[in-house]
């Protein structure tokens, strides 16, 4: 039986909640420290809510640097880096450039596959335990392609997926329409990933929070980490705006704010915040059954209950959640190109959500212990995969905290790798 420990999880977003949940299931005593209020808008709440084994290629991949440079000059493009004098940004960009190689993709794809498929199994288990109170839908994902060129590129990705044991099928427009008989498309074709899923993010967060409260976990809301107490090479306490918090173990799960929380420890964790936007139609004129991605526009489309959410952009602009309308316009303008029954007017006066996703330079999360402090773990850097990889992240960190060997080899995800 695992010896019970006091564990403080620093961050109440989706990664922090899943880490706390699985550690609690191991019998540990849990405190979650969150800089926001109990009603805080975590990065996942406005997300596309997708579980994506199809996303086995890391963000740092060949062609991404060139694509980013091309898109930078278009204010409505899905990718943007705001120029600013920042040594951290320059260092991150150089590391990203160095990582974006075929060899990195070849090494990372099997690991991302294993993490994604294990996480999907966790979601299935959680849905069974909770009577599916977060609305898990297992109908797959469609990569919708406007051009034959993009379809050919996505077909090559589908071939890689099949080689990795991830089912993928290239579809004609007619075959795509058979999967979604109530939707009219204007596309050259699509790639279908039947193992992908989607859910309602807000309901998932509520479900996890409720389970933690019922299990006896405590929450410290509106509490920021300001420093640390170190004794004999271990973390003795986290200094916060609500006083010192002592624990046996600490988990850094602060998303884009994680590097700031390490102040005074002499640790480096290269991260940049990647801002994303979403707009949700509460009563869409058509409601697809399957989630999709508009391939050229890089916009995610998810049916969430009776509503339809459109999300996209990767805007590297620091810890800034300002909504820039041209980037929102880029999302809105893309929709009728693929779904001709929709118009830009459908989005008039709708609220726009934005959230910051923590992006590592190599496109892989940071999971595991820091070697310098044996009772400090990292669980951050998931970029757009936070929800998708949330359960397996929590499960693996809980195994580490319990002195067990992680079910998946995590050497490539070490927080010490930079």
Handedness of CA 68, 99, 394, 246 (dihedral sign): negative
Q: Quick one: angle between helices 14-25 and 386-401, nearest 10?
A: 40
Query: Where are the domains positioned within the chain?
Result: 6-44+203-270+363-413, 54-198+271-359
Condensed to tens digits (0 to 9), the pLDDT of residues 161-197 reads 999 999 999 999 999 999 999 999 999 999 999 999 9
The yes or no reply on domain 6-44+203-270+363-413 and CATH 3.90.1200.10 is no
| Topology of domain 54-198+271-359, CATH | D-Amino Acid Oxidase; Chain A, domain 2 (3.30.9)
Q: Which two tokens stand for residue 328?
A: 């929102």
Condensed to tens digits (0 to 9), the pLDDT of residues 40-98 reads 888 899 999 999 999 999 999 988 877 777 777 777 888 888 878 888 999 999 999 99
pLDDT band at 1 (very low <50, low <70, confident <90, very high): low
Q: Report how far apart, in Å, the C-alpha atoms of 316 and of each of 54, 80, 172, 418 are.
A: 24, 6, 35, 20
Condensed to tens digits (0 to 9), the pLDDT of residues 193-241 reads 999 999 999 999 999 999 999 999 999 999 999 999 999 999 999 999 9
Q: Report how far apart, in Å, the C-alpha atoms of 360 and of each of 117, 251, 386, 413 are.
A: 21, 17, 12, 10
Using an 8 Å Cβ cutoff, are 72 and 255 in contact? no
Q: Report how far apart, in Å, the C-alpha atoms of 417 and of each of 95, 274, 336, 370, 402 are.
A: 11, 21, 43, 10, 23
Listed residue (136, 276, 288) closest to 203, CA to CA:
136
Query: In this structure, how many other beta carbons lie within 10 angstroms of the beta carbon of residue 404?
Result: 12
Q: Which residue has 């600013």 as its token pair?
A: 84
Q: Report how far apart, in Å, the C-alpha atoms of 308 and of each of 47, 149, 156, 287, 305 are.
A: 12, 28, 29, 7, 8
The total number of residues written for the chain in this structure = 418
Q: Report how far apart, in Å, the C-alpha atoms of 50 and of each of 1, 44, 139, 144, 176 are.
A: 35, 10, 11, 16, 19
Lowest mean pLDDT: which of 78-92, 130-144, 330-344?
78-92
Q: Report how far apart, in Å, the C-alpha atoms of 1 and of each of 24, 114, 338 are.
A: 14, 27, 54
């Amino acid at each position: 039986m695992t010896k019970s420990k006091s564990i403080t999880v620093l961050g109440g977003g989706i990664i922090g909640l899943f880490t706390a949940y699985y550690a609690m299931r191991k019998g540990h005593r849990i405190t979650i420290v969150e800089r926001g209020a109990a009603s805080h808008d975590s990065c996942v709440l406005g997300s596309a809510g997708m579980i994506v084994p199809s996303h086995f290629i890391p963000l740092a991949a060949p062609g991404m640097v060139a694509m980013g440079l091309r898109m930078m000059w278009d204010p409505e493009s899905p990718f943007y880096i705001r120029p600013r004098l920042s040594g951290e940004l320059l260092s991150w960009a150089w590391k990203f450039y160095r990582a974006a190689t075929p060899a990195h993709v070849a090494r990372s794809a099997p690991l991302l596959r294993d993490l994604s498929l294990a996480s999907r199994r966790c979601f299935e288990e959680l849905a069974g335990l909770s009577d599916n109170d977060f609305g898990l839908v297992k109908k797959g994902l469609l990569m919708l392609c406007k051009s034959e060129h993009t379809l050919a590129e996505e077909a090559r990705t589908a071939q890689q997926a099949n080689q990795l044991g991830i089912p993928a099928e290239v579809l004609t427009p007619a075959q795509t329409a058979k999967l979604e008989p109530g939707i009219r498309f204007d596309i050259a074709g699509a790639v279908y990933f039947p193992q992908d899923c989607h859910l309602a993010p807000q309901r998932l967060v509520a479900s996890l929070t409720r389970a933690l409260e019922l299990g006896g976990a405590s929450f410290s809301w509106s509490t920021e980490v300001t420093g640390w107490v170190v004794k004999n090479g271990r973390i003795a306490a986290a200094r916060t705006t609500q006083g010192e918090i002592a624990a046996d173990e600490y988990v850094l799960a602060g998303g884009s704010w994680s590097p700031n929380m390490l102040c005074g420890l002499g640790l480096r964790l290269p991260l940049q915040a990647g801002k994303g936007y979403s707009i949700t139609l509460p009563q869409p004129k058509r409601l697809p059954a399957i989630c999709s991605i508009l391939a050229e526009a890089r916009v995610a489309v998810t049916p969430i209950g009776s509503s339809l959410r459109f999300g996209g952009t990767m805007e590297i602009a620091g810890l800034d959640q300002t909504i820039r309308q041209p980037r929102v316009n880029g999302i809105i303008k893309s929709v009728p190109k693929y779904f001709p029954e929709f118009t830009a007017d459908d989005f008039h006066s709708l609220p726009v959500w934005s959230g910051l996703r923590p992006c590592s330079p190599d496109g892989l999360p940071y999971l595991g212990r820091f070697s310098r402090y044996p009772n400090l773990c990292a669980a951050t850097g998931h970029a757009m995969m936070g929800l998708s990889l949330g359960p397996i992240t929590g499960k693996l960190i809980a195994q580490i905290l319990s002195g067990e060997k992680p079910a998946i080899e995590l050497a490539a995800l070490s927080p010490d790798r930079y």
